[in-house]
Structure 1
Amino acid sequence: MSNRPGTQRKLTITVDADVYEALHARIGPRGIGRFLSDLARPHVMGGEALAEGYAAMAADETREREAEEWAEATIGDVADDR
C-alpha cells in the first residue's frame, strides 16, 4: 500500500438515498470522492495535515486579500452589538 501524496484508493460506501441525490446535485458525480476526502481529512489525519491546509490557504493571495477585506468590513458590526 502506498502512502504517497496524490495516491488514490477506491472505497465503496453506502449513504442514504437523499444524501446521495444531494451530493450528486450539488457536487456533481465526478466530485463526490474528492469532496468526501477533503471533508474527512481533518478528522482522521494528524495536525500536520491541518497545518498544511492552513499554509496552502495563506499562500493563496487572492483568498487572503478577500478574507482581510471581509474582516475589516465586519469590524463595525461589533460596535453595533453593544
Structure 2
Amino acid sequence: MHKKMTITLDEAVYEGLWRTIGKRKMSQFIEDLLRPHVLGKSLDDGYKAMAQDQAREAEAMEWTNALAKDMANEAR
C-alpha cells in the first residue's frame, strides 16, 4: 500500500530530478533512496540470504544470460 505525501524541493533540484529521472519515476527514485535509511538492515539481510541460495543464483544467471542473448539478436 502506498501513501501520498507532499514535499517541497528547491526549484533547481526539482528540475534536475525531472530532467534526470523523469516525471513519472520521481516517487520510486526517492523511495529507493530513502528505503535503506528508514527500514534498517532487514532488506540487506534479505538480499544476502538470496545471494547465498546457489540454486536461485544459478537460475537468475541463466535468465540474465538468455535475456542478453535475446537483446543481442534483436539488435541485429
For Structure 1 versus Structure 2, the TM-score category normalised by the shorter chain is 0.5 to 0.7
Task: Structure 1: state its 5+ residue gaps.
Answer: 1-6, 63-82
Could you tell me which amino acid in structure 1 is paired with residue 33 of structure 2?
L
Counterpart in 2 of 1:23? 17
TM-score in terms of structure 2 length: 0.61
Structure 1 23/54 Cα, relative in aligned 2: closer, same or farther at 3 Å? Answer: farther
Runs of 5+ consecutive residues of structure 2 not aligned to the other structure: 52-56, 65-76
Of Structure 1 and Structure 2, the greater helix share is in 2
Mapped to 2, the partners of 1:42 and 1:26 lie a distance apart of 22
**Cα displacement string for residues 22-75 of structure 1 (whole angstroms, at most 9, x for unaligned residues):** 11001000000000000000011121122234566x45534xxxxxxxxxxxxx
Percent identity for Structure 1 against Structure 2: 42
Q: What's the C-alpha RMSD, in Å, of the aligned pairs?
A: 2.0
Aligned residues: 55
Q: What one-letter code is carried by the residue in structure 2 that aligns with 1:21?
A: E
- Letter of the 1:39 partner, please give it: L
Aligned counterparts of 1:54 and 1:25: Cα–Cα separation in 2: 34
The runs of at least 4 consecutive aligned structure 1 residues that moved more than 6 Å come to: none
